[in-house]
Amino acid sequence: MAEIEPLSGWDMVSYASRVLLALVVLVPLLYYGLRAVGRRVTVSRSINGHVEVLDVLHLGGGNQLLLVRMAAKVLLLSVSKERVSTLWEGSETELDLEGSPTPHRPTPDLLQWVGRWRKGQRGDGQGDDGQG
């Protein structure tokens, strides 16, 4: 049988440096690759197609406004880390969802809600101090 020569110190350093280089390259590549694939896989989709997110407005700090279509209803939802609140609810016919966005024609209910929100009230008509 042929004898196996023991590895010298330089051979060990060379082998270890190649392993380390492979790890430095492969680990970030796997991380970002799986992260990108995970984002595509975890996108919420309705099973029967009755729920659709029409628009998302990120407000920062984990807060978002979502415009959601559920069957024939349209909902404006406030989403935070702690809760989800319905800010406005209307029918699909109240908004022009098929055409381009119409920022110059919001519904009266939505205008009233935005006015109350700007004055520091919640969307349900209750002030932050409990006054209505």
pLDDT tens column, 41-100: 555 566 677 888 888 888 888 888 988 888 788 899 999 989 999 999 988 777 765 555
- Provide the percentage of residues in the chain whose pLDDT is more than 90: 18
- How far is the C-alpha of 95 from the C-alpha of 93, rounded, in Å? 5
Higher pLDDT, 68 or 39: 68
Q: What's the pLDDT score for residue 45?
A: 63
Higher pLDDT, 111 or 88: 88
Average pLDDT, integer, range 105-122: 69
Q: What's the pLDDT score for residue 132?
A: 44
Mean pLDDT taken over the chain: 77
Q: What's the pLDDT score for residue 130?
A: 47
Average pLDDT, integer, range 104-128: 64
